[in-house]
Amino acid sequence: MATIREQCMAVKDYVIEMRRQLHQIPELGIHNPKTHDLICAELDKMGVPYQSNTVVHDGVQDTSVVAFIEGKNTDKVLMLRADVDALPVTEKLDVPYKSQHADQMHACGHDNHCAMLLGAAKVLSQIKDQLNGSVKLFFQSGEEIITGAKMVIQGGFMENPKVTACMGMHVWPLPQYKPGTVVVRPGCMMASGNKFDIYIKGEGSHGSQPALGRDPIACAAQVLSALQNITSRELPGDEPRVLSICQVHAGSAWNIIPDQAYMQGTIRTTSPETQAFYMKRITEVVEGVSAAMRCEGRVDWVDGTPPVMNDPAFTALASQAAREVLGDEFVQQDVQTSMGNEDFAYYQELAPGAFAFLNISSEDPETHYSVHSPTFQVDEDILWHGTALHVQTAVDYLK
């Protein structure tokens, strides 16, 4: 009988082909109909049963797909997750499988995640009689807008049968490691993420007569500068955290001081205490500095994700599974917490699990571009590593 490694290597070309098909049809948000139909068609070919999510969010139909591979029992159920949505990015790659959708691209690699999980579905469906437990496969939409995981949970898919552990991964350019290396650590793997909107109201005037108004742009500049002091002057230096202002909008003409300014940003933290401190101080700074500048400042907070907290015992199991199927040289655990955030964290609030990175960089510098880049590219030859990690983790967990 072929080993798991051999079975996963055998679907290498299938995974690459699926990745290329998916790469051509990137879709945004929680409604991904073409992606949904491709996934369902492939599961039908495998004879793997599945359900489509029926949850509607803000009038939009979620198109996540949940497949079920039933083994000998449902006492233990491992959930394997792939996100499938894309980004509003115009692709600059000149490849035969380039995006066919204008201003949309799989610039974060979710096409790879989906393809690797389809490969795992193919292998697991062939060995389901050997599984001492069962597997759910989540093909989840809407990760980029931090909505998809909550929609799948709302759809009841963490229950009936109950998910007892969960596993996910993200392709990532990590050229310091061997291509195909699995990077995972126990504890905080990725930070929590919160989005905030800052509104500053002043009073407009002619650009030649600023004293007749209350300049919200000058106020916004002072607010932005003061906010940076929270990170550098008010928090200990040894805890990872980030505060970034990523949008600033104000004004409509060269000679008009507007009556309002708008900023948008994010905080990334690794502890609830630091998260709460940021939220309190950002609000105080915005309101206080605005008042000092004769303006009115307001902060609106948007719910973000919790931190991705890898369960130590399950992380050890998944790491050993990677060593078993790939080799010791393809596992890295001495890594820092990533300041990115992931809605996979919502699943970990309901079941212990682990989230890993898969290095998709090779010696080719074309594979070193960051995720979210219009030139993001991957080393396709190692994608079967992701499939192998899914399958071996499932087999080991369900022993």
**Tokens coding 256:** 């008009």
Query: Rounded distance, CA 345 to CA 302, Å?
Result: 17
pLDDT digits (tens, 9 = 90+) for 178-201: 999 999 999 999 999 999 999 999
Q: Which of 262, 277, 305 finishes a domain? A: 305
At residue 238, the pLDDT reads 82
Q: Which of 266, 286, 305 finishes a domain? A: 305
196 & 180 share domain:
no
296 & 374 share domain:
no
At residue 262, the pLDDT reads 98
Instruction: Please state the rounded mean pLDDT for residues 27-38.
Output: 98
Pairing of strands 50-52, 65-69: antiparallel
pLDDT digits (tens, 9 = 90+) for 364-384: 999 999 999 999 999 999 999
| Mean pLDDT, rounded, of the chain | 96
294 & 315 share domain:
no
65 & 149 share domain:
yes
CA angle 379, 193, 310 (to 5 degrees): 65
141 & 274 share domain:
no
Give the 3-state secondary structure of residue 147.
coil
The DSSP bridge partners found for residue 302 are: 195
318 & 300 share domain:
no
Confidence of residue 38 (pLDDT cuts 50, 70, 90): very high
Instruction: Please state the rounded mean pLDDT for residues 283-306.
Output: 95
At residue 383, the pLDDT reads 98
Domain that holds residue 292: 192-305
130 & 16 share domain:
yes
342 & 292 share domain:
no
Distances (CA, A) of 316 to 71, 117, 174, 213, 397: 23, 21, 21, 61, 11
| CA-wise closest residue to 72 among 128, 9, 150 | 128
82 & 209 share domain:
no
Q: Domain total for the chain?
A: 2
Query: Rounded distance, CA 376 to CA 183, Å?
Result: 19
66 & 157 share domain:
yes
Instruction: Write the DSSP string, 292-358.
Output: HTT-EEEEEEEEEEPPEEE-HHHHHHHHHHHHHHH-GGGEE---PPBS---TTHHHHTTS-EEEEEE
121 & 184 share domain:
yes
- Specify the CATH number for the domain of residue 374: 3.40.630.10
- Specify the CATH number for the domain of residue 267: 3.30.70.360
pLDDT digits (tens, 9 = 90+) for 57-108: 999 999 999 999 999 999 999 999 999 999 999 999 999 999 999 999 999 9
pLDDT digits (tens, 9 = 90+) for 301-342: 987 899 999 999 999 999 999 999 999 999 999 899 999 999
Confidence of residue 284 (pLDDT cuts 50, 70, 90): very high
As a whole-number percent, the residues of the chain with pLDDT over 90 amount to: 96
Instruction: Please state the rounded mean pLDDT for residues 248-269.
Output: 97
H-helix or E-strand containing 168?
Answer: strand 165-172
Q: Rounded to the nearest 10 degrees, what angle do helices 33-46 and 110-126 cross at?
A: 20
Instruction: Please state the rounded mean pLDDT for residues 140-152.
Output: 96
Residue 271 has pLDDT above 90, yes or no: no
As a whole-number percent, the residues of the chain with pLDDT over 70 amount to: 100
Q: Which of 305, 340, 355 finishes a domain? A: 305
127 & 71 share domain:
yes
pLDDT digits (tens, 9 = 90+) for 213-233: 999 999 999 999 999 999 999
At residue 326, the pLDDT reads 98
Instruction: Please state the rounded mean pLDDT for residues 234-263.
Output: 94
* pTM > 0.75: yes or no: yes
The dihedral formed by the CA atoms of 263, 268, 273 and 276, expressed in degrees to the nearest 10: 20
